[in-house]
Amino acid sequence: MTLVTSRHYNAGDGLVDQRSCVSEQSERSMSENNRVLAIGAHPDDVEFCCTGTLSRLKKKGAEVVIATMAPGDCGTTQYSAREISRIRKGEAAKSASMLGAEYVCLEERDLSIDCDTVTRRKVTGLVRSVDPAIVFTHFLVDYMVDHEATGRLVRDACFGAGVPNFGTPGNESHTETIPHLYYFPPSGCIDNVGNPIEPHFVVDVNDEVEQKKGMLACHASQREWLLRHHGMDEYIESMLRRGAEMGKRIGVEHGEGFLQHRCQPYPTDNTIAERLGIASDSS
C-alpha cells in the first residue's frame, strides 16, 4: 500500500478508498472515542477471532476499521500471488462492508511480515490515521510467524503512535492517547510449547453468529479450498468450534476470548467490558 497524503492510504488494487472512510482527525468530535481498529495478519483472521465482538461494539456506535498486514497471497494452490491477492482483498472488503466497516491492506506479504522499523512505521501510520480507542490483534505468541510479527508490530505501533518524533511514511499526526490493546488468544489457547494461554475475558457473541458466518463466507476462495480438501464446510465449522470452546468458559454457546495488554503505559482498564456491560474477568 502506498501512502498518498499525510493521512490517507491509497485505495490500491481492489481496495476501498480510505479517503472516504478514515476520518480526518481534525473533524473528529471531542466526545467519547468510538473508533475500533482490528488488525490481522491475513484476510479472515479478524473474522475468525473478533467479528462478533466488533458487531456488538458496532451496535453501541463504534466506527470499525478492519486491516490486514498482507493480502493472503500464499492462500491458494491454483492462482498466482497477484491474482489471489486481488481476489482476497475483494473478499475482505466485502466482508468488512457487511459490518459497515472499512477495510485496509498494508500490502506486506505472507510469510514475509517482518517485525522491523520500516514496517513498524507503516503500522504506526495506520494507527495514527484511525486514532482508535480500541485495537485488536494477534497475541505475541501464536502458531505462525506472521501472526506473531503482527502482534509485536501492532503493540509497538500503539505506543509509537503517540511519539511525535517517530516518523511515519505519510507523516500522520501523532495521537494523544494510547489505545486499549486486546489480543486474540493463540490457536487452541496454547503457546508454542503447549502451555495454556487462557483469555482474560470472554464476550458472549451468540447473537452475532449469523453475522460472523456471513462475513466469513465472504472469503469464498478460502472456504471453497477447504471444502474441496475436507469434503465439508470446514471453514465455517472450525469457526463455530472455536467459538463454542470459548463460549464454554462463560456458559454460552458462542464466545470470543481476549487477552488485554495490561502493562503501563497502555491503559489497563477493560473498556470493552465497560462498553458492553460484561464482567471484566470472565475466563
Residues that bind Zn ion (CB under 5 A): 41-42, 45
How many angstroms separate the CA atoms of 55 and 89, rounded?
A: 21
Minimum distance, C-beta of residue 270 to Zn ion, in the bound complex (Å): 25
CB-nearer residue toward Zn ion: 45 or 107: 45
Minimum distance, C-beta of residue 144 to Zn ion, in the bound complex (Å): 7
CB-nearer residue toward Zn ion: 105 or 252: 105
CB-nearer residue toward Zn ion: 159 or 184: 184
- What is the pairing mode between strands 63-68 and 255-260? unpaired
Minimum distance, C-beta of residue 31 to Zn ion, in the bound complex (Å): 35
Q: Which residues contact 283 (CB under 8 A, 6 or more apart)?
A: 198, 199, 200, 201, 202, 249, 250, 257
For 195, the enclosing helix (H) or strand (E) is none
How many angstroms separate the CA atoms of 174 and 272, rounded?
A: 24
Minimum distance, C-beta of residue 97 to Zn ion, in the bound complex (Å): 21
Half-sphere exposure of 56 (CA within 13 A, CB side): 20
Minimum distance, C-beta of residue 45 to Zn ion, in the bound complex (Å): 4
CB 161 within 8 A of CB 178: yes
CB-nearer residue toward Zn ion: 225 or 266: 225
Residue number closest to Zn ion, CB atom: 42
CB 37 within 8 A of CB 135: yes
CB-nearer residue toward Zn ion: 42 or 155: 42
How many angstroms separate the CA atoms of 283 and 276, rounded?
A: 16
Minimum distance, C-beta of residue 105 to Zn ion, in the bound complex (Å): 13
CB-nearer residue toward Zn ion: 131 or 142: 142
- Three-class DSSP category at 134: strand
